[in-house]
Structures are given as structure tokens and as C-alpha cells.
Structure 1
């Protein structure tokens, strides 16, 4: 006699209903709570700041907004007819204050030792991240970075690579206009080289003969190889080619690039540049790990051999001893290119294709569905685990080399960079690559354009939103355990209420604009 299974019909949890309502109205479902203090009267309020995630499984509303912003950025820069003008802003008082604080910390770091030096280094890196978030372009040198030494390297092209013509690059980014006023642009796809025959599901026909080492190294250095391709392309065509590109994995898990390129370039030139582009990685040899079971130890400010107590070779010294490149990365022979006219339906489809996977985590795009795919991913990940990703990578310790920036907190042989994660399998951290003169605007500028459009639409029907005076407010994150902080669900409910009101005002503004634009009926 079988036991009867009784199913209870339960209603959804209140938190799930709140989350679904927030997603329906485009409200961030996991906002950061910020404490805002008015310096004039000392009053305090709590504000939910959107998380800004670009992954739908984390926050659906924020991810969709981020994708829409990228689509706008791609559309505005693809078929420009005039040169974009980039305005460099003056440093803000907050940026200047942070830079002064950084200078003081670097001065303290020069005389600090041990754990104090490690703490100061982390604080300096935190300041650098904060400066970057405030719009400061470029990165400052690490406080422990030694002056760059320029090892002697041959600048001659490899004999196995075809030569390329070289022209002086003109200071223009807009493509040529053809008879009839047409100004086409390009859509280009580049792939990695082959590492062995693969099946339709992307797995190797013969895993034992598949070149996993070269696949791992190509994935780690793919972004640098792409940069070299753009350099070569500009030198060949003779003008400053601009691009909006996204990096995605193929079925075999090798990265490939889709790029919207401004201006028209012949298919033959694109194939020639791809065939002639290569990247020589002038790093110390890292074919076979020296340490596996016994690992180096940290003694007196450096890593030493666990048996002989001899210090490991510093990165700079190991680099000086390099006589040949440790790896040479190239693209595959398959190059897809297509001309696209601006404003066409085809252009809209390709913009959607470019941004199709931006709302998914890399692990969601390359998810393994069969045991054969899982084994393929495991073998590639095992190779990536022992492939250094940068001069600061802790994996160098396995090869007897002390990486840059190593300290007592360095995890022996384990690097936290994205290249070594099982969920990314070597794909670069930046999924979107945009040239500096693409649209003449940053993402913050595009957000401001959207805000200005909505503000103008509301003002046209008499709805004026006052701009808050941020100079009289102090913003900082709430402290853990602060009992005065309202629950997140209260912040969500408040944000949902505001969004419903704003949407009603905006819809009313659009309706009024349509009515005013409608011609009066004939008498």
C-alpha cells in the first residue's frame, strides 16, 4: 500500500511578493542602505541606492537598465557623421581631498613594516578604487611598485607572420561617405585559434590531444591580443578606428569578440590584419610547476624555499632573464565581417545581438549540460589554475617566482582573479570594450542624457522636480548592527511607491505632448 502524498496549497511569502512587485516596476531589489545627514539641521534619513548589478539573476531591474544604457551607447556612436568632442572635467573637491589622503598614506607606507605596511597598502588600494568610481581615469602606481625597467626586446616582426602596410594615422574617427550620402559601418567577429577538432557540443573529439595549455593561455591574454588587433588595424587603414565590442564564450569555451566598428573597411583588409596580428608574452617560463606538495613560506618580508630557505626569484629579476616569449597568441582563421547602414532595421538587430548576453553571468552562458561538457570544463579549469594571469598573480609562486605586490597575506598558488574561476574559465573581467572616442560620452553622461530627457518632458507640462543640494549632505554606508536602520523591505516599498508616482507623471507628460502635437480638427 503506497502512502498518499498530500500537497498543501500555500500562498507566496510576503518578501517574494515585494520582490516581484519591485521587478515589475523597475525598482532595484537589493539596494545598498545609505545614511544621509543634513549638515544644516543635523537630521538623518536613510536612502536605498541601487546595487547596479549587470546580472539578471542578481537584480533584474538593474541589469535591464544597464543593458539599455549599453544599447544606447552603442547606437549613438556607431554611425556618427561628425567627430565626437570629449570634454575633460576639472578635478572635484572630493577627488582632490582623496588624492591628498592617498599622498599621506604613501608617505606613511614608505616607513611602515610588517602588518602595518600591509594594512596601509590595502587602504591605498581602496582609495584608488574610490577615485576610479568618482570618475578619475587611469590607475596610479602601487606604493611598492619599482621603477619600470625596459628589458631589451626585438621589435622585428616574427618571420612566420605576414607583413602589414603602415600608414600615418589621421586624427579622424568618422568613416568615409559614399555617393548618395551612404556612410556604412562594420560588424566584425573574431575567434581564437583551433586547439583540436571539436564536436557540435563544443567538446574535443580527442581530449588527450586537445591543447588545453594553449587554450588557457590564449584565454588569459585574449584582451591584450584584441588591443594589438585594433592597433594594427588603425595603422593599416590610416585613421583612428573606433569600436564597441563584447566578449563572449563559444561552445568550446574559447572567447570570441563581436564588434561594431565605425566606418567602412574592406573585408580583405580585415582578414589580412587578423592573419598578421599576434601577441608575444614576454614572461618567465611557466610550463612545469616547481612546487606542488611543498610550498614556499613567508619569512622576513619575502617568500623562500621551504627546504633550503633560499629566497625565490623576484619578478623583475626573472623578467630580465627572459630570452624568448613564453607564449605567442594569435586569432583563428575564421573572420566574419559585414557592412551595416545606420538607422536600418539590421543595425537594430545587431545592437541587440551585441548586448544579448550582457545580463547573464559568464557561468550562465557557458553552463555544462552533459557529462562530456563538464569534463571538458574541468580540464580547462585545471590548466587555468596553474596559468599565471598577471605579474601580480600568486600562481607564480608555484614556479619559484615571487610576484609583484606579494605579502604575508598572499595565498600560495591561488589567485582570486576572474581568470582562474570555474564560473568564468579564463574570460576577461570586462565583457564590454569601448574605445575612448566612440560616442564622446561616458556611461554617466548617457545616464544624465536620459535624466535630462525625462526632466524636460515633465517641465513641458508644468511638473518641475527640484534638484537636491548635495553639498549640504553627508552620505556614508550604515554601520553593521545599527538598529535605527529600517528593514530593506521598507526601503523597497518606499521606492515602489515613488516609482509608481513618477511613472504616472511621466505618462501624463507624454499624453499631453501627443495631444499638443495633434493638429486641430477642421471646422
Structure 2
């Protein structure tokens, strides 16, 4: 039948994917300020998920593989010199100093400092956005502090003498050979109820509230684990980690660590790691259904029954006493799996390919799609548990529990938060999928991308260093409806032809390097 025949446009997409061509390119005009020439170029979309653009997602996955591999077993200490501050950063600091002086004068005169504090807070936010790290004052700007005493129900951390550097310890075998092993660690969350084939045996007793909160705050628990890991190890531990869901839909962590500790110590650190969420209580639902808080431009949200102003976020936090318990305490489960890994081994490559980067082209939910009705119902119950669970201080769900969210604004309502944590494809986890320490490979992703480009250009006999002046080109997007922009199918075909040419040239150069006669195999490419 004619309808059974494939569409030509779909075949173009399939062919583009097979050649690694982005199927959602962004058309841009590039102006060469040296020659005055304007060129239209298709820039890859850079998607990280294959359901959006498989070639870009796979390219990013391979980039992460290279990043993980290069940093896992470094032999030389990475050195990251600080960048010189930009003119904008210098101006922001001067601007901050000027307003700080004005505030000090106002304070001495007994004036109201609210306006000055608001302006300084805005300048501090601009300073952080400019790329400067740390606080201008050298201390945290918040005045609210919680006790740093360890919980009595958490074991103490082991201690070890501190060593300089990030590489870990060197070991020497009986034959005098020296080696520096590393580790691969898998961490999971605790049980919320007995599961079978990825779904609860008894859904009514399964603790969905705890599962939802653990997923939302999982990244904080990982941060605390790394802090404890460095404290116990004694050196500045560097890591490459990815977050994936288990079949039961709970997130878990795969972490490549440079250097090694004993398996006993790793398990002790995991057992001693916890994170406390000091948020207002959500035990009592104050507003539900059609009876919701109403907005007043002058004071924020009001109780529609009494007309009273709801507590602000800061007021709700101030109401939490020192003797109160946190809203939630996160801990890892008992399943902690540390493995020793040596550089250049098949195990190291296997762990990178099949654990650390295998699922990076899929969303959290796509990696554990339900196979049966029980699993589908479990996913729906998990999504329902996340709907009204606050995901951040600014989450509108706080109105459900009688608290104004931070930076409240008109039009907010419980159950309508647009945060990633509430979306079914994220299963509560809204953090980054890949977690990499600053000194892992001594390179940024941009550096790794430049390395790959330079390798290809060198293989093709082209220069990787010419036209490197960052100020030579200016870019602007092609406006919608531009008559000079060919249809997407035509642009994809042109890029496919380019890829065919470069691939054939690469094969020819490789064959020449190997001493293979391409003409004998019919693979010779005309110049």
C-alpha cells in the first residue's frame, strides 16, 4: 500500500542520525569582522537527551566519557590558575564598596537600613552571576544558623591525617612496582517498603512521602557524602559521578573517585552521612480544594477565612526552634558497593561505558520505563506524592501548608509548581545528572570539546589553531521567516553530504597510515 511507504522527510532524519548530523540545528549568521563577509551556518542544538536529538545527545555522552576517563587516574597534580577578574567584576566590587560606605553612614545616622540592604543584596546577586565565587564579606550573608552538632543517631566519622593534593596515596607491591588505584562507588537510598520486580508488594504501606522527599533532596545528601569523604580520606578527593534511578524509581549514585580508601571506611562514611532539611512543617494541610489563599499586593497572601496575612518564608523559618526536629532527614541505605579500579584495565572501561555514562542520553524516567501494570501504577503514585511536596523555598506548594513561598507573587497555587522535581520524567530529582569536581581532569567541558575538534582537524591535515581570535566573528540568529533560509530537509541533506565527504577522507587517511590500498577494495574516494 502507498501509505505503508516511508516518508522521504523521515528517511532524511534517519540518515542524518546515522551520520551524526544534528536534526534540530540552530541557523545563525556569522559576520567576519576582518573580511566583512557574512555566512549562514547551522549550529548543533547541543541537546543531551536522545528523544530531542540523538546525534547531539550521543556526542555529549562521548564527551563525558572522555572527561571521566582522563581524570580518573591522573598521575600529575592538576593546576588551575585563577582567571584575572573582568572589567565588569571589578566595577561590581567597586560599586558594592560605594554602597557599603553609604550604608555605614546611614547606620551611624540612625536611618532605616532596609533600602540599603535591598540594594546591597541585589549587587551581591549580580556579583555571583558575574562568575565570582564566595561571599564579598568573606562570610555567609545569612544570619540564621543551625546547630552543627552531629545527630546522636548517626555514627562518628573515622579520622585520618591530612595529605596535600588530589591524587591519593601511592602503593608499592612486593616486587617494587608502584601503583595508584582508584575506586568506583555505588550508593543507594534506604527501603520504603518491600518491592518485587520494581514495584511495592503492598502499595498502601509503601512510604511514598519519604521516597519523594529523598528524591527531591538527594543532591544535598551527595554533597554531604563528598564532604565527609574528603574529611576522612585526608586529601582533596576528586570525583566524577552520575545519578540514575533504580527500578523502584529511587535515585542512586555511581561515583568514580580518584584515590582509594578501604571498603570498610567507605561504608562507615556512608553510614555516618546524613542531611537535615530545616523547612516548615507540612504535617497539616491548611488550604485545599477551592479554598485557597488570596493575593494582596501590599502584604502578599491572606487567609480567605480570617483575612490574616500568612507567615512569610523567613518568618516560618524563624519559628522553628532549636529543640524542634527537622522536616526531613536523609540517609543512604545499607547497600554500599565500593570497588577498587586500576588505570588502563578492562574493568575501568566497562564501568565508564556501562555505569557512569550509559544512560546519559535518556531522562530519569526513560531509564526505568514500566514493563507491567504494577510498575505503571507505582510510577503514578510516585508522581502523585510529588505533586504537593514542596521542592524548594520558592515552591507554590507552601501555600497548601499555610506559608507564603519565598519571593511570593500573584497567581501561585498549590499543585501548580513548574519545578523539574514535580514532572513525571524527573521522578523528584531536579539536580544535575553528572556531578564533576573542579580538579577532576584539569579541563572544562569546553576544553574537552576543543581537544576532540583539534584531533579531527589534525587527522584531516587541517590547522586547529588558525582563526582563534575570539573577537573576529560576531553572531546573530536567523530571524523567523527569513526568505534566504532553505528548508530544514535541504539543510540536512547538505550537512549529510559534508559528513560523507569528511568520513570518506578520514577512511582514506587511515588507510594510507595503515598501508592499505583502497583502490583494491573499491573504497577509493575521488578527490
Change (3 A) 1:410 1:48: farther
Which deviates more from structure 2 when the two are superposed, residues 151-160 or residues 183-192?
Answer: 151-160
Do 2:388 and 2:414's aligned partners in 1 also have CA atoms closer than 8 Å? no
1:273 match: 269
2:450 match: 448
Q: How many residues align?
A: 476
Distance (Å, rounded) in 2 between the aligned partners of 1:463 and 1:509? 16
Q: CA deviation at 1:342?
A: 0.6
SS, match of residue 429 in structure 2: coil
Distance (Å, rounded) in 2 between the aligned partners of 1:52 and 1:248? 21
Distance (Å, rounded) in 1 between the aligned partners of 2:91 and 2:440? 30
Distance (Å, rounded) in 2 between the aligned partners of 1:98 and 1:12? 60
Q: CA deviation at 1:372?
A: 1.4
Match runs of 1:34-183 below 5 Å: 34-39=28-33, 44-90=38-84, 136=131, 148-167=141-160, 169-179=162-172, 180-183=177-180
2:342 match: 341
Change (3 A) 1:99 1:352: farther
Do 1:455 and 1:465's aligned partners in 2 also have CA atoms closer than 8 Å? no
Q: CA deviation at 1:305?
A: 2.0
Do 1:173 and 1:239's aligned partners in 2 also have CA atoms closer than 8 Å? yes
Change (3 A) 1:412 1:275: closer
Distance (Å, rounded) in 1 between the aligned partners of 2:91 and 2:11? 42
1:215 match: 211
Cα RMSD (Å): 3.1
Match runs of 1:232-311 below 5 Å: 232-293=228-289, 294-301=291-298, 302-311=300-309
Deviations 1:240-271 (A, max 9, x none): 11111111111111111111111111000011
Which deviates more from structure 2 when the two are superposed, residues 479-488 or residues 27-36?
Answer: 479-488
Do 1:264 and 1:339's aligned partners in 2 also have CA atoms closer than 8 Å? yes
1:195 match: 192
Q: CA deviation at 1:150?
A: 2.9
2:17 paired with 1:16: no
Distance (Å, rounded) in 2 between the aligned partners of 1:414 and 1:169? 48
Change (3 A) 1:139 1:220: farther
Q: CA deviation at 1:11?
A: 3.3
Distance (Å, rounded) in 2 between the aligned partners of 1:128 and 1:35? 32
Do 2:187 and 2:254's aligned partners in 1 also have CA atoms closer than 8 Å? yes
Unaligned segments of structure 1, at least 5 residues: 1-6, 104-123, 142-146, 517-523
Distance (Å, rounded) in 2 between the aligned partners of 1:128 and 1:33? 33
Q: CA deviation at 1:377?
A: 1.5
Do 2:189 and 2:333's aligned partners in 1 also have CA atoms closer than 8 Å? yes
Do 1:128 and 1:140's aligned partners in 2 also have CA atoms closer than 8 Å? no
Distance (Å, rounded) in 2 between the aligned partners of 1:476 and 1:463? 26
Change (3 A) 1:70 1:383: same
Q: CA deviation at 1:51?
A: 0.9
Do 1:296 and 1:412's aligned partners in 2 also have CA atoms closer than 8 Å? no
SS, match of residue 142 in structure 2: coil
Distance (Å, rounded) in 1 between the aligned partners of 2:231 and 2:45? 41
Q: CA deviation at 1:80?
A: 1.1
Unaligned segments of structure 2, at least 5 residues: 97-122, 517-527
Distance (Å, rounded) in 1 between the aligned partners of 2:133 and 2:479? 31
Q: CA deviation at 1:457?
A: 2.7
SS, match of residue 333 in structure 2: strand
Q: CA deviation at 1:486?
A: 2.7
Match runs of 1:439-518 below 5 Å: 439-459=441-461, 467=467, 471-515=471-515
1:3 match: none
Do 2:398 and 2:414's aligned partners in 1 also have CA atoms closer than 8 Å? no
Change (3 A) 1:250 1:138: farther
Change (3 A) 1:469 1:485: farther
2:519 match: none
Distance (Å, rounded) in 2 between the aligned partners of 1:374 and 1:56? 22
Do 1:63 and 1:359's aligned partners in 2 also have CA atoms closer than 8 Å? yes
Distance (Å, rounded) in 1 between the aligned partners of 2:27 and 2:302? 45
2:117 match: none
Q: CA deviation at 1:284?
A: 0.9
1:205 match: 201
Which deviates more from structure 2 when the two are superposed, residues 165-174 or residues 314-323?
Answer: 165-174
Distance (Å, rounded) in 2 between the aligned partners of 1:367 and 1:300? 45
Deviations 1:94-131 (A, max 9, x none): x779989x99xxxxxxxxxxxxxxxxxxxx9xx999x7
Distance (Å, rounded) in 1 between the aligned partners of 2:272 and 2:250? 20
Which deviates more from structure 2 when the two are superposed, residues 231-240 or residues 150-159?
Answer: 150-159
Distance (Å, rounded) in 2 between the aligned partners of 1:339 and 1:455? 37
Distance (Å, rounded) in 2 between the aligned partners of 1:138 and 1:48? 35
Q: TM-score, normalised by structure 2?
A: 0.83
Q: 1:377 aligns with which of 364, 376, 379?
A: 379
1:399 match: 401
Which deviates more from structure 2 when the two are superposed, residues 14-23 or residues 325-334?
Answer: 14-23
